[in-house]
Amino acid sequence: MSEIVDYELFEVPPRWLFLRIETADGLVGWGEPVVEGRSHTVKAAVEDLMETHVLGEPAAPIEDHWQTMYRGGFYRGGPVLMSAIAGIDQALWDLKGKRFDAPVHELLGGRARDRIRVYQWIGGDRPSAVAEEARKRVDAGFTALKMNATEELERVDDPATVRQAVERLKEVREAVGEEVDVGVDFHGRVSKPMAKRLAAALEPHEPMFIEEPVLPEHNDELGDVAAHTTIPIATGERMFSRWDFKEVFEDGSVDVIQPDLSHAGGITEVKKIASMAEAYDVAIAPHCPLGPIALASCIQVDACSPNALIQEQSMNIHYNETSDVVDYLADPDVFDYEDGYVDIPEGPGLGIDIDEAFVREQAEEDVDWHGPVWRHDDGSVAEW
């Protein structure tokens, strides 16, 4: 029988939430419903949705579950609810793949590519020594990187601050050469006037894209920024549905969208967003500074989306001393990296096996990660 009879949630380090659901005939599916820094809140939302709409129901009709969860409550959308739906949706797709012994991308129409290019972060929130880090990543096989543009920025900041951002990118470009792509994340830290100034100053060093050049609540300003630069514009990690994305498609100023498989309603929704993007000649580069289930979900959608450009991923044992992502996997080699690409896993469902014993052990730890609160010199709150 395919009714959902049980579910369990695990808050695990460094800042993730995993969902395990089980059917009456013993199949298990995994999802990763999380907003960075809001795992307790998303957990409560998942419990609410599971208890109200999903538990006791057949697992198969994913679209019906999605519609019920999204529309059933009258109030819709936003990071918490859409991330909760996302994780449940991933787990339902994982179950479906296991039931039919096929990878999710096969059930979504089959491959559009054999592998997907990946990029890796360099530097942290306060980027320094990025050139050296960039070189290390490229030596390890990466062909694409991403870095923060700046630290906190005033609404109108001084030339020295702009110069520093430019120097940083220039050093990276000099360290890695012209055959490596470097995305620059403005992280919503930048006001519209500074976005225009920074874009112009960074342009000679040819970033792959500038990301969140303004906060998503100011997406109506993207056209103005785009008019001042030839650098591709990326955004989308803080947008949560087709309805959030439709305006940037219609407006035409965005070149790359970055929906997050764990924030924007899951596999069902992001596949639809990807198709909408395709119709507007926009690429997708799914956002993923998250764990193995989120990454596996991204790769399944990349596999069957012709307009997938590149995949963000946080850590991998082959390239990185930190290996949180792979620690949770029964087979750490399932993400097979070569030449800056990762192969599309061919196992059933999401294509990964979660090491359940390890998850249970990690869930014993107290997980309480929150995004930092930054302040300007005058004490007012700055964007992180």
Ligand X SMILES: O=C(O)[C@@H](O)[C@H](O)[C@H](O)CO
Check: CB of residue 146 under 8 Å from CB of residue 122: yes
Contact partner at residue 269 from Mg ion, ligand X, none, CB < 5 to 8 Å by partner kind: none
**Residue 28 is encoded by which pair of tokens?**
């298990």
Catalytic residue among 287, 318, 370, 376: 287
Question: With contact defined as beta carbons under 8 Å apart, do 304 and 109 qualify?
Answer: yes
Amino acid at 86: A
* Helix axis angle, 62-71 to 266-279, nearest 10°: 90
Q: Is 289 in the site for ligand X (CB under 6 A)?
A: yes
Rounded Cα gap, residues 152 and 167, in angstroms = 17
Is residue 260 within the footprint of Mg ion (CB under 5 A)? no
Taking CB within 5 to 8 Å according to partner kind, which of Mg ion, ligand X, none is near residue 181? none
Please tell me whether residue 237 binds ligand X under the rule CB under 6 A.
Answer: yes
Does residue 187 have an active-site annotation? Answer: yes
- Contact in structure between 278 and 301 (CB atoms under 8 Å): no
Q: What is the 3-state secondary structure (H, E, C) of 233-276?
A: EEECCCCCCHHHHHHHHHHCCCCEECCECCCCCHHHHHHHHHHH
Least Cβ distance, residue 103 to ligand X (angstroms): 25
Q: Catalytic residue, from 105, 187, 205, 263: name it.
A: 187
Q: Considering the complex, what minimum distance in angstroms separates the CB of residue 239 from Mg ion?
A: 12
The CB-of-27 to Mg ion minimum distance in angstroms stands at 35
What separation in angstroms does the CA of 287 have from each of 18, 97, 227, 257, 296?
Answer: 18, 23, 25, 9, 12
Residues 150-189 as x/- pattern, contact with Mg ion by CB under 5 A: -----------------------------------x----
Residue 43 binds ligand X, judged by CB under 6 A: no
Q: What's the rounded Cα separation, in Å, for the pair 383 and 212?
A: 12
Site string for ligand X, 94-133 (x = CB under 6 A): ----------------------------------------
Containing H/E element for 148? strand 144-148
One of 287, 300, 315, 341 touching ligand X (CB under 6 A): 287
318 belongs to the catalytic site: no
Minimum CB separation of residue 173 from ligand X in Å reads 20
Q: Judged by CB, which is closer to ligand X: 11, or 185?
A: 185
Distance CA 226, CA 326 (A): 38
For the record, the structure tokens of 239 come out as: 């947008």
The yes or no reply on residue 187 touching ligand X (CB under 6 A) is yes
Q: Which of 36, 94, 244, 302 binds ligand X (CB under 6 A)?
A: 36
Residue found by looking up tokens 């090491």 in the block: 355
* Identity of residue 119: Y
Residues in the site for ligand X, rule: CB under 6 A?
Answer: 36, 185, 187, 237, 287, 289, 312
Active site residues: 187, 287
Residues in the site for Mg ion, rule: CB under 5 A?
Answer: 185
